[in-house]
Each structure stands twice: as structure tokens, then as C-alpha cells.
Structure 1
């Protein structure tokens, strides 16, 4: 007779809305994980495609369970149903049905948890790829692990104003997840960033270098390209995250909130600068971006990005787009994008 397993246990919640074509490969990427005991819950949020039939097929494996909502509840309620009501294992993963876990990622994360009892979340490198059957080849950097104190990790987020996770690469200690609660319905676009910081407020954060942790699929139906593609949705939701987080954590140093405000103001101004460089003033609301930056950070007009914008306004967009004047190499190296990639993907919600 075989005794109880001593391997780490991981519960994986897979919300699905009209992603039947991706679901088999997603679940297989979980079931094939070595060195851990996995359990999968697929939550079908009233899909209109073949999701019920695919779920019926996948649940023949005793490690897979399926639920179907009678009415569409939306992504936040679906996430929280799985994470707070169903998950019971040592560790939990929220995995979109169109993404994949990388081979061995759960065992690598579990090893960090086992060696560091104060760590509440472990993540690794995510690889973005297009809607195709073959995964991209990636260069694997040297393996290693970093563990930050929660406050240090929060400060790093404040300095950039950006999220650094896409979600599928995050593994959370289940006791910590249930301690901090679920995702917030009032932050549908940047609720993941707020969640990660909430976890960092009560625990340390681990990072695994080397092999990828997950593959994030980018396609035309993803939430990234549909509901939350607005320029201001990204900026305003990230600002709302920091406002809410620091309001609910008044014990943290006030300078952290100031760092976050400045970083988001810089981001808004940088987008305005790039609108001149690309001659896209007809598409990008430069004046609104400037007012947003001023509102977020009263010292916005002292920033290098603001001075760069003034120079471009003096030259005009055509001259800027021909010469491609940049603010400075130090800003180019920061690699600010026009729209943050760290967003939830959910079609039609």
C-alpha cells in the first residue's frame, strides 16, 4: 500500500471563457509538471463555444475538476471563486486558459517556498508568444533564486510604477492568498498589481531565474487587446492601485507613495513625448496626459520628461518624427512601453 504523498501540493485554478481551443494544452501543461501533486479546477464562465465538451473530456483525469456557471459572473468573481472557495493545497496558481506553465516551473517554485517559510509568492520569467502551436525558442540565463523582503519588493514597484508579472508565472502560498483575500472588482485592469503588493505587505517575495516559469499567449481575443487597450485605462488603473494600496497600508513609509506618483507621472509624460517622436498627435491625447501627470505629481513640471516635451512642442511633431530626438539614453534604456503588458486577459467581459 502506498502511503500519503510527501510532495508539495499545488492547486491550479483555470478560468475559461470561450477558450476551448486552448484549454487542452493549458491543462496538459499543468498535469505534466514533475515533482509536485497537482489538482486542477476549470471554471467555465458560461462559454458559448465547445468548452463544456472539452471540460467533460479533461475531467476523465481524476486530478481535474470542472464547474460551469449558469450565468456569466465575469473574471474577478471567477478568480475569487477558485482561489478562495476551492483551493486547499500548499500553493495556488491562477492560470488563464490560453496560457501555459513551463515544464518544471511548479517544482522550482515549491523549492523556494520550502526553503523560505516567510515567502508568500514566487514567480519567474514569463515568455510572450503569438497564437501558434510551437513555443518560441528562448535563451536560458544562469539559474538562481532571489528573495526580497516584502517592503523592498513594494519599493521596487513604486520606483517604476509598473507591474512585473503577467500572472501565469506567479505561485502563491495558499494560506497567504486566503489571508489577504481575493481580487478587487473595482480594479479590473490592474487588480493583479494590487494583489501582488498586498501579498508583499505580509510576506517576502521570491524569484526564480533561469528557465521560464510560464508562457503568456498574445492573441486578438485576449483582454490585453480588447477591453483594456485604452491608453488611460492603464495609467489610471495603476494610479488607482497605488492610491488604494497606500490608503489601506498607512504604516508603510510615505516616501513610497511619492515614488509611485512620480513614476506614473513620468510614464504619462513619456507617452506624450513619444507621440511627438512618432507624429501621432491625432491618436494620442497629449494635453490630457500632461494634465494627468500634473494631477498625479505636483512636481511633474520639474521632470526631465516634461522638459523634453516642451522641446518637442517647440520643434513640432514632423521635425521630431524625422529626427527621432529622444529624452536621453538613460530613459531609452528604461524601455517604457505605450501600454503595459501586465493586464488580465478575458474575452468579452
Structure 2
């Protein structure tokens, strides 16, 4: 029977622990699961809640910080110092696993020793709202060569994983290390790509592997200045992979060109959309253009830059009214002006 170590970092989320930990211990047939709850010096009763759970279930352990170490140090403490199962999961206290998620992931990892980590579809749901029923019947799985999966990420220039849906081979995790403290908001992207440079990647098709809780407060908060920080953090993550995994990436320069051009296009598109939506006073347009120039010296030849230049000529006062007509015209010409992919990052 395969064993799974589940680390549950917690800060002021003690009221979610029963759901989160319960999802890892219940309805996970055929795997031996142990859970470590790490309370990062919560100012509420989270530590007491965790200790009560551990007293009632020998599969649960608790570690309480006397001082707040923040998320990266807390994650790595569990991943690199405590986990000793065949496979490892990092599960935030406000998220939960789907029924059978560990069973399905362990089956793929058992069958494919070349796979370093496996993931599946996460269900996003709003805090306080109904929780959709998870799909639990596997339609099959896909195993990508690590470099192929990595190239896809460089072409997309964004993450495709939220986090709770990932199960990692513990040996690989501890061999390659954990989250990079220099990447507080994109350390997960960098880590998955670092793993893919050394191992293959598995994906479970047709099933839901985890529930990702979207807090209502975060849904109503729009941080326009954070758009630039998001791009910079992603660029730093990709550059870190290129540097650290250079020996495993014979086509590193081509991959660097691909992701830098893509990030430049995304920055210019965000700047253009600020005109479309009448938000030029809120969105750091000039800084986004500056970031594009840093990423891709030839940024002025990109189609997104031409679109931004056109919007600047029209002006921010008129552009929101003309935006539907202009977008339709470009779509008719086959231009990719409707590109926008949300990239949510939790506070990591």
C-alpha cells in the first residue's frame, strides 16, 4: 500500500481544518495517509483546534510555531523535513481534496515511476456557497515527457495549477527542494517546472482532484497595480528555471525567447485593455509598457503594441465607447485581440 504525507499549513483557518484534514483522511481507499498540521502562530484558536483533532486521530500530527514564519518557510518545513511517505501533498487549510483523489494519484504514480508529480482538475467554489459534487470516475490518464510539458508552460507563460490538486513523488521533492523564498507569488509555478525538467508529468482526465476555495472578499477586490507584480513574478519564475535547469534544457534560449515574447504581449494587452475599460488612471500603463520592453526589445513590432498605439491615439475618454467595434474589426481580420486568461494566485 502506498503512503501519502499530507501537509496542511494553517494561519487563522482553524474553522476550516475539519473539512480540509477530513478530506485527506476519509474516502481515500487503498493509501496509507498521515497528516501534519502546521499552525503558523495563528492569533486565534487554530492551534487548539488542530491539537484536539490530533488527540482524536493518531494519523494527525501538529506542529505549532511560536513565531510567524510565513508561508514559504512553513511549506518547506513540512515538505522537506517531515514528509516521509511515498508521495506528498501540500493542502491549504481552506482547501480540500476530492473523494478518491489520493487513490487515483497514487495509482498513476505507482504505475509510472518516471512521473515526478500528478495533477487533475480543481473545482473552484465560493466560500459560503454550495460545493459541487466532484467527478470521481477516471476517463484515463496522460503522461507527458517532462520537457514537453515544460515547453507548453513556456508557450503559455502562466500556470495551469492552483496547488491542492498536485501529488508529488516525495523523493523528487526532497531531491530538488521546495518553494523558492525569492518567489513569494510564483514559487509554485517555478517548482512544478523545475520538477518537469527532471521527471515526467501525469494528468488524471475526467475527474476532479481537489476543491479550491475562493473567498468572497478576494473576489470583490480589484488590485490593478498588482497586474505588474504578477507579470514580474512570473518572469522571475521562468528565468529561475532557465538558470537552475540549464543542463536539462538544450533548447533553453528558444524557450527563453518564447516566454519573454509572450509576457511582453500579455503586458501590452493589459495596457490596451485599460483603455478599453476606461481604467488608465488605475492601471500602470506606462510601467506595463516598460516591462514589455524589458522582456522583448522588439516589443514595438508586436501586434499588441500596435493595438495599444491605436488606443492611445483615440484616447481614454472615447475608447470605451468604440471598444466593441474595434475588437470586432480585429477579430474579423483574425487578430488575437480577445486574448485574456485569468491567472489567479493565492497569497503565496
Whether the TM-score (by the shorter chain) exceeds 0.5 is: yes
Q: Structure 2: how far apart are the matches of 1:123 and 1:10?
A: 15
Q: Which residue of 179, 183, 192 corresponds with 1:187?
A: 183
- Give yes or no for the alignment of 1:99 onto 2:95: yes
How many angstroms does 1:307 deviate by? Answer: 1.2
Deviations for 1:303-338, whole angstroms, at most 9, x for unmatched residues? 11111111211222243312333353663664323x
Task: Indicate if the aligned counterparts of 1:228 and 1:234 stay in contact, CA closer than 8 A.
Answer: no
Deviates more, 1:129-138 or 1:325-334: 325-334
Q: Which residue of 39, 43, 47 corresponds with 2:42?
A: 47
How many angstroms does 1:209 deviate by? Answer: 1.3
Root-mean-square deviation (CA), in Å? 2.3
Deviations for 1:208-267, whole angstroms, at most 9, x for unmatched residues? 111211111111577996999812221100011111211222231110111110111111
Deviates more, 1:246-255 or 1:323-332: 323-332
Task: Indicate if the aligned counterparts of 1:223 and 1:345 stay in contact, CA closer than 8 A.
Answer: no
Flag structure 1 segments of 5+ consecutive residues without an equivalent.
Answer: 1-6
- Give yes or no for the alignment of 1:274 onto 2:301: no
Residue correspondence of structure 1 range 175-324 to structure 2 within 5 A? 175-219=171-215, 230-251=226-247, 252=249, 253=251, 254-323=253-322, 324=324
Change (3 A) 1:138 1:107: closer
Deviates more, 1:14-23 or 1:305-314: 305-314
Q: Which residue of 63, 66, 73 corresponds with 1:67?
A: 63
Q: Structure 1: how far apart are the matches of 2:10 and 2:347?
A: 10
Q: What TM-score do you get using the length of structure 1 for normalisation?
A: 0.91
Task: Indicate if the aligned counterparts of 1:222 and 1:345 stay in contact, CA closer than 8 A.
Answer: no
- Give yes or no for the alignment of 1:36 onto 2:31: yes
| 1:15 aligned partner | 9
| 1:58 aligned partner | 53
| 1:173 aligned partner | 169
How many angstroms does 1:30 deviate by? Answer: 0.6
Change (3 A) 1:231 1:74: same
Deviates more, 1:15-24 or 1:213-222: 213-222
Q: Structure 2: how far apart are the matches of 1:28 and 1:265?
A: 43
Deviates more, 1:135-144 or 1:39-48: 135-144
Deviations for 1:165-219, whole angstroms, at most 9, x for unmatched residues? 1110111000010110111111000000010011001100011111211111111
Q: Structure 1: how far apart are the matches of 2:136 and 2:314?
A: 44
Task: Indicate if the aligned counterparts of 1:224 and 1:344 stay in contact, CA closer than 8 A.
Answer: no
Task: Indicate if the aligned counterparts of 2:76 and 2:179 stay in contact, CA closer than 8 A.
Answer: yes
How many angstroms does 1:62 deviate by? Answer: 0.8
Change (3 A) 1:268 1:226: closer
Q: Which residue of 19, 27, 44 corresponds with 1:25?
A: 19
| 2:146 aligned partner | 150
Task: Indicate if the aligned counterparts of 2:135 and 2:208 stay in contact, CA closer than 8 A.
Answer: no
The alignment partner of 2:125 has SS state of strand
Q: What TM-score do you get using the length of structure 2 for normalisation?
A: 0.91
The alignment partner of 1:209 has SS state of strand
Q: Structure 2: how far apart are the matches of 1:227 and 1:94?
A: 27
- How many residue pairs end up in the alignment? 337
Task: Indicate if the aligned counterparts of 1:189 and 1:228 stay in contact, CA closer than 8 A.
Answer: no
How many angstroms does 1:35 deviate by? Answer: 2.3
How many angstroms does 1:136 deviate by? Answer: 2.9
The alignment partner of 2:198 has SS state of coil
The alignment partner of 1:211 has SS state of strand
Change (3 A) 1:115 1:228: farther
Q: Structure 1: how far apart are the matches of 2:65 and 2:221?
A: 25
Change (3 A) 1:142 1:333: farther
Q: Structure 1: how far apart are the matches of 2:281 and 2:106?
A: 49
